Amino acid sequence: MKEGPDIAHIAALIGDPARANMLTALMSGKALTVSELAEEAGVTIQTASSHLSKLDDGGLLRPRKQGRHKYFALASDEVAHVLEGLMGLAAGSGYLRKRTGPRDAELRLARVCYNHLAGDMGTQMFDSLVERGHLVLDGEELELTEAGVAFATGFEIDIESLRKARAPVCRECLDWSERRSHLAGSLGRAFLGRFEELSWAKRDQKTRVVTFTRNGAEKFNKLFPVT
Amino acid sequence: MKEGPDIAHIAALIGDPARANMLTALMSGKALTVSELAEEAGVTIQTASSHLSKLDDGGLLRPRKQGRHKYFALASDEVAHVLEGLMGLAAGSGYLRKRTGPRDAELRLARVCYNHLAGDMGTQMFDSLVERGHLVLDGEELELTEAGVAFATGFEIDIESLRKARAPVCRECLDWSERRSHLAGSLGRAFLGRFEELSWAKRDQKTRVVTFTRNGAEKFNKLFPVT
DNA sequence: TTCATAGTTCGATCTTAGTCGAAGCATTGG
DNA sequence: CCAATGCTTCGACTAAGATCGAACTATGAA
């Protein structure tokens, strides 16, 4: 009864529809302004401002001021992770917000989950990396092997600079649609970044959908084969 | 805005203090009656009943009727997993319900997390198993190796009967205190059960604390060494 | 300076939902 | 059959908080 952290407080923060919409929008990984988030949530700017300060107080967001704009992003991978978990529960209990439409299918195939690739293609990438020994689970953490470093470097990802940042390089993250792990962390982000640089895929501006070109999908499947 | 599952609904379910207390109580893994949960949450039986039916509708609980009692348990490991994640966020943002007292230290050392061992000793067990190659992350799932099966069998755990049940044998679960993985799933449950059978440890009835005897702790450390 | 845009704060309104008393079922035990 | 226990349903009360209009602050541009 009075043991452990105050779970109700932060769950209540996520539990308001307007705030949940904002958080969902931020799952795209991009930092958004107050006005953008207000529109996303379907409320006025005043209420959005109020909601955002509450979320910030709860430690769920990381605000950044830039000129006369104020950008908000999710505070950490952990926040994103919990949100995905909640989506999994919501999807599982059939509480879908929208009837499964074409948009939903696209989301299941490939979407952005706080800066990295999720959905069917996300888990394919993860499985492929593990299968070929580029990633291994070492104790609590996912680790990049020698072979994995070589592989990433060959794909023109600079592992060293990733390692200098404080954020963990590899993390696993559970899909709400696939219920399987995919690669998060700064390496996950770097991969997605490269896909965009190479024009294999691009993110939809408004939704979390990631669309691969035909050519990009082919290259992707060649790079991340699964048995 | 209208993509993805309805995260707000189930977050709101968890977001009420009374319901959060109930869920936290159920993290012990035991099934509890309506009256017990009412007391745990500090509300009358009527309100508890109302809350529980909502939680059930949301798919978070698995009810079971037995005579004139109605027992509730968490619906799945996934629910427990999300709850642990929320505790991690709450603990991280400093929203502790209670000042860190002796009870809190005990909780961090060893506690029950939905039927399996969590806390410092839980992660030690997990790390040790992985380090010695008894567990490996294979794609999406945690898998028990040949060596792992032999090890468990040597500890008088019947892996075959576990495999017959539908529930996954191995799962990883994230600690809110340690922020590291520990072993969940039916195997995790089996290990904890054996500890109790051997009188190495026993669970506190009211809290989630698991107390090891001096002898039990020694045996435990010998069985699950870490470098 | 003046205007425009981005956000915040304040105050009033109004809906939602948590709460409990009381009555109603259901199951067990004499 | 009647009493006791465990739980659910109903109805009324209440409080918390989401919402927005309007006024206010801050930054940037002309």
- Chain A's closest residue to B43, CA to CA, is A1
Strand B116-118 to strand B210-212: parallel, antiparallel, or no bridges (unpaired)? unpaired
Backbone angles phi, psi at A70, to 5 degrees: -125, 115
**Regions in chain B scoring below 70 on pLDDT:** 1-4, 93-104, 137-141, 166, 173-181
User: Which residues does A185 contact at the CB level (< 8 Å), separation at least 6?
Assistant: A77, A116, A142, A167, A168, A169, A170, A171
From the list A140, A127, A203, the residue with the least C-alpha distance to A168 is A140
- Give the pLDDT of residue A143: 82
- Give the pLDDT of residue B140: 45
SS3 state of residue B198: coil
SS3 of A150-179: HHHHHCCCCHHHHHHCCCCCCEEEECCCCC
SS3 state of residue A207: coil
SS3 state of residue A202: strand
A48 has a pLDDT exceeding 80: yes
- Which of A113-122, A178-187, B55-64, B218-227 bottoms out in mean pLDDT, i.e. has the lowest? A178-187
- Give the pLDDT of residue B11: 97
Mean pLDDT, chain A, whole residue set: 83
Tokens of A19: 């705030």
Q: Among partner residues A8, A11, A89, which is closest to B78 by beta-carbon distance? A: A89
Task: Kindly tell me the number of DSSP H helices and DSSP E strands found in chain A.
Answer: 11, 11
What residue segments make up the domains of chain A, in order of their start? 7-75, 98-223
Question: Which chain C nucleotides are covered by protein, judged by CB under 7 A?
Answer: 5-10, 17-23, 26-28
pLDDT tens, position by position, B3-60: 567 899 999 999 999 999 999 999 887 788 999 999 999 999 999 999 999 999 999 9
- Give the pLDDT of residue A140: 45
Q: Does A168 touch chain B (CB under 8 A)?
A: no
Please give the residue that has the higher pLDDT: either B2 or A223.
A223
Instruction: Say how far B50 CA is from C16 C1', in Å.
Output: 16
ipTM of the complex: 0.69
The fold of B7-75 is: Arc Repressor Mutant, subunit A (1.10.10)
Q: Does A147 touch chain B (CB under 8 A)?
A: no
- The residues facing A87 across adjacent strands are none
Q: Does B45 touch chain A (CB under 8 A)?
A: no
pLDDT tens, position by position, A137-160: 664 467 888 999 999 999 999 988
